Amino acid sequence: MTRIAIFASGSGSNAENIIRYFSEKENVKVVLVLSNKASSGVLIRAQSHNVPTFIFTKNDLNECSKVHKVLKDYNANMIVLAGFLLKIPLCMIKAYPNSILNIHPALLPKFGGKGMYGMNVHKAVVENNEQKSGITIHYVNENYDEGDIIFQAKCDIDKHDLPEDVKRKVQALELCHFPNVIESIIP
């Protein structure tokens, strides 16, 4: 059985969507939601679905042992980053080779890297007069947004779109595709 741990820093709409999607599946279960922010909405969403939560610090993540122990306690064998803003340390990548996925709100390799998250990405897309944006689901490696790409989906950007319009279009793609793509790579 695939046992997913979701890392998230924000409101948790993607995490909740993943939890709902896999709640009916027999071979996949979301076993834990972890966050580096005690005030993040993802914790409330997870608890409303009876998914255990764990809060950690940036140091806890970088030192690996505390976070890794919790993941082992829940027998997590896949990690999904759903709006998680911290860089995953090499010790975690080595512990979960080809088992950490991220979703990025742009068509990588454009608009990726340190500082490129959330509205920063959507503003950059508009400022660069892009005609397309979308999502990229990729494996996580030691560099921000440079892991092997698993899936991309595109949306059209109108010349009058504001960053908020781009955000809305991209979030629709995230909710539509992320759980399906996760399921597609499960052995």
Could you report the per-residue pLDDT of 16-47, keeping only the tens digit for each?
Answer: 999 999 999 999 999 999 999 999 999 999 99
**Cα–Cα distance measured from residue 105 to residue 19, given in angstroms and rounded to the nearest whole number:** 20
* pLDDT mean values, one per 10 residues, the chain (187 residues): 97 97 96 97 98 97 96 98 95 96 98 94 98 98 96 97 98 98 94
Active-site annotation, residues = 104
pTM confidence score: 0.96
Q: All domains of the chain, ordered by start, with CATH?
A: 1-97 (3.40.50.170), 105-136+153-187 (no CATH)
Percent of the chain with pLDDT over 70: 100
Q: CB within 8 A of 112, min separation 6: which ones?
A: 104, 106, 136, 144, 145, 146
Position 4, amino acid = I
How many Cβ atoms from other residues are within 10 Å of residue 180's Cβ? 11
